[in-house]
Amino acid sequence: MPTNSNDWTSFTREQVGQIFGPGSDSRKAADLARRDAKLYTSLKQAAVYSFSILPEEMLNRASRIKKADREAAYRAAHAAEKDETFFLPQALADRLGVPAETTKVSFETLQRLRGRKND
């Protein structure tokens, strides 16, 4: 289980199922809640919002995620999966010094062109 990432969208169903799924060990869940409360909360959010294993009422109010934030996370994940290419707008193509009519880029490539992402 990734302990360095506490993003509720980064867990798999198997990881969440070990703690909250059918037949999971409640001692393991209680131990995780004591050892790493942030990871436990993230897994619980994934169980509620990603996999519908638990109802939203099982989360305390501070851990609930607004519907707009959930939708934004789903849209971002979907866009990252697709990673479609698109034509650059004319003004941006001129600024980068590339022809707008023939230059198709992905969002990741655009970030590199703008100097905001390095490998």
Q: Consecutive sets of 10 residues in the chain, 119 residues long: mean pLDDT of each?
A: 64 93 91 95 94 94 92 79 78 84 80 68
| Residue 46 contacts residue 8 (beta carbons within 8 Å) | yes
| Residue 85 contacts residue 95 (beta carbons within 8 Å) | no
Q: What is the pLDDT at residue 108?
A: 77
Over the Cα atoms of the chain, what is R_g? 20
Q: What is the pLDDT at residue 3?
A: 43
Q: What is the pLDDT at residue 89?
A: 84
Query: CA 10, CA 6: separation in Å to the nearest integer?
Result: 8
Q: What is the pLDDT at residue 19?
A: 93
What are the residue ranges spanned by the domains of the chain? 8-75, 83-113
Query: CA 11, CA 5: separation in Å to the nearest integer?
Result: 9
What's the DSSP call for residue 85?
Answer: E
